[in-house]
């Protein structure tokens, strides 16, 4: 039976990711545990990235154009999409 993926809030995922990075940076983790931590870190990173992308797509800015307020999708500076 496969391991069921659980939904972790963004803040908790970031906290877990920071802990994983700290453990890996300490350098005193056995190889097999380091590999497992790396895989866990990659999954947490993916979850955080997906949540940020989802939020970015939901954010709209209201801009005033020609006297009317218009909803415009949010884009980060330097985001050339």
Q: Which pLDDT does position 1 carry in this prediction?
A: 43
pLDDT for the residue numbered 81: 54
pLDDT at position 80: 59
From the first residue on, what is the mean pLDDT of each consecutive set of 10 residues in the chain (81 residues)? 66 96 92 96 95 82 75 69 54
Tokens linked to 71: 């909803």
The pTM of the full predicted model, rounded to 2 decimals, is: 0.67
User: Token pair 């797509």 is at which residue?
Assistant: 57
User: Which residues lie closer than 8 Å to 67 by C-beta, 6 or more apart?
Assistant: none
Name the residue among 72, 75, 77 with its Cα closest to residue 61. 72
Q: Do 79 and 51 contact (CB within 8 A), yes or no?
A: no
Q: Which domains does the chain show, CATH number per domain?
A: 10-65 (1.10.287)
Tokens of 58: 């939901």
28: three-class secondary structure by DSSP? coil
């Amino acid at each position: 039976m496969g391991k069921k993926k659980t939904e972790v809030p963004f803040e908790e995922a970031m906290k877990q990711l920071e802990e994983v990075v700290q453990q890996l940076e300490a350098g005193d983790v056995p190889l097999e545990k380091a590999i497992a931590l790396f895989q866990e870190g990659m999954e947490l990173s993916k979850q955080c990235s997906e949540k940020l992308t989802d939020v970015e797509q939901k954010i709209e800015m209201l801009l005033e154009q020609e006297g009317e307020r218009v909803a415009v999708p949010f884009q980060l500076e330097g985001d050339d999409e």
